[in-house]
Structure 1
Amino acid sequence: MSMASMFDAAKKVYADLGVDVEAAFNRLDQIPISLHCWQGDDVAGFENSTALDGGLAVTGNYPGRARNADELRADLEKTLSLIPGKKRLNLHSIYAETDGRPVKRNELEPKHFARWMDWAKENGLGLDFNPSYFSHPMMKDGLTLSSPDAGVRKFWVEHGIACRAIAEAFGRKLRSTCITNFWVPDGFKDTPFDRLAPRERLADSLDKIFSVECNPRYNRDAVECKLFGIGAESCTVGSHEFYMGYAMKNGKLLCLDAGHFHPTEVISDKITSTLLYFDEILLHVSRGVRWDSDHVVTMTEELRAIAEEIVRHNYDKRVHIGLDYFDASINRVMAWTIGARNMSKALLMALTEPAAILKKAEKSGDKGSRLAWMEEAKTLPFAAVWEEYCTRNNVPGMAWIDEVKTYEKDVLSKRS
């Protein structure tokens, strides 16, 4: 049976359950997924200033890492050609292009991202952004915006202000609102006596950054919490409670990262709770494994649950989806593509749930039927539907793996 025939048969199976596959395709076409640039070069960036720190670690030395912006953009173009649906790109400030001249992070300007903006426009992408509060000599004793040193705080406040100006330029140039996410790794390896003072300093520093006006049409700010990090095991200044309160008080987006909570916590359960009180939130979709937070996104129960929460409650326009992981132990283009395709697949799975049947069972109190249909939905003929969606988006189905291996042979293997 041809794939087209398999799709026609699958489409009928879904239709018999009240699912309009064509409507699912159309809706998925409007949900952007923001790819993270740092998977392609192991969060190295182009400063060449210092080794990774601030709770970040990349393991593996698989050959073919992008060594400059042109190589990174080439790898991104290959990755984007393998992912169906609407995409964006998420940049960190360390990916500035300064033509070999050192530029301090607090002196970065939109001109240092001009090539990224031009490239994004050529490829029909919106850009998102992140200040980089890690891997820098001005991170003193594991602290940046919460440092007791006023000079350190001033430097990082200026960095945040500079990054928001860059993000605003992204939004204006590309006519697509840039989401600028603030993740600050400040914390303590051992138990501090005073947890309040550093949190007061962090709040004050953020207030100073956000006191500079940005046009919300072009830039929206998000703040991201974390349970702990390497070197910050006993106390993370920017905890979940800190940022949830700060974001709510100051009208910022709250960023929930799937790898930033206790291993028994899931962000899928937090989406409906937070959106009772926030207009919008940002997600960093990752895969936590025990204490680590940034493994390649796979088709886990949690990934499906995240997508289901977004779709079931019509949060398409209120939840911004970004990816955040980095793996240097495998082909980096493959890692990018696996995670992004899985996010898109999970959304399509959620969009093709027999929602009417499930709602009816739940409303009538028939919990057995609800559970039964949830389980039956897991083995519906989804593969043919996914292949059709890929075909309509002019990207390969399962053949994408061979394309990446060819790209590795022709391009990546030639990098030293």
Structure 2
Amino acid sequence: MKNLTDKLRVPIISNATDENDDDSDDFIAMVTEIFVPTAIGLIILIVLGVGGNIMTMLAYVENRHHNKVYDFYIFNLAVTDLILCSVSMPLYTVYTLMNFTWPFGYWFCKIWLLIDFTACTEATALILILSMDRLLMISLRTKYENQITWKVAKTVLIISWIISLIYYGPAILAWNYLVGYSTAEYMDCDVEFVYENDFVITMSILDFLLPAVSLAVINGCLLIKIFSWTDRKGKSHKCQEANTRQCFSVSEHALSTQCYVSTSLHQNKASANISMPMLRDERSSFHSDNCLKSKKIGALAKENIKHTAAKPKLKSAKLLAMLVFSFLFFWSPYTITTVVISFCNKCVNQSLYEFFNWLLWMKSAVNPFLYAYNIPRYRQCFKKYMKMLGKCRNSH
């Protein structure tokens, strides 16, 4: 494999080699004190990512009769994250623990980079698709289900996967043939265009900055529409509350009048020496219960009105804030440092850059728990699968 790799590789530029040799001192050597906790941490991260995304997919399959287009998008995001957690992260774990040495060969590196970059790009696209889907749901309202059909959703996903594949694919596979030389070092695995400033900046803008701005604009519009919608609902609920109060006031007055008339009749009958103690008690109890029930119903109606008006605002704001924050938090450090490295390779510590690379992948392990935290159906399925796993462990 080594001889075949050497024959396939084009000679390396001397400048790139010198710069990378100078940067070798920036790596933290994998001594035992660092190797063991790093290995344990990365394995735990991979297990959480793979397990969480598999549970998300199983939850989708289990509730397939109740799923909507939004759930279908989440299922595909789980598939994308599973690819990253089961392909990108394990192989890069080996690369990291071997002091950033790639033992799998030149062409396997190309294929791995293609899978990794395609899945990362598709993950970004799916976050945008999910946000746009929520905006359309609020904007179209009753027309949403008629216009955003399963066929539309499948078409959107096919197009997004094709775009994600050709976004970096040609550059990863054929860059060295297009420019006539290679910057890849022996036993290393990195994209050939890593030091091409113009290309890196352009792709970083398209890959991160543009999606981040789009995500902020889409979710900003969505928040505005949600708040305006809940305000209208709140006014409607106030009208309903006023009508409810009027209704209960009338019913209470009628019941009170009925109670008074009934009581008067009983008193008149009593004065006429008509003794009906049991009937009087039953009627009195019946009317008093009705009066109490009407008051309880009125109180419950008011409570429901308050909760119904406030719940959508809090829930939507929390979900959107988590979505935007997680994307910016996990992706921005890697993107910024990648742009800096394209200009100044010595300006960023290489071990720090590798940590930011792992931080980007970490989002794939966090996403399933965001679904479970915000969507009750997924949360219930997660709990069920965790209980089943616990029972299996206890049986063994």
TM over 0.5: no
Q: What TM-score, normalized by structure 1, do the two folds share?
A: 0.22
Q: What TM-score, normalized by structure 2, do the two folds share?
A: 0.23
Greater fraction helix: 2
Name the larger-Rg structure.
2
Greater fraction strand: 1
Give the structure, 1 or 2, with the largest relative contact order (CA under 8 Å, sep 6 or more): 2
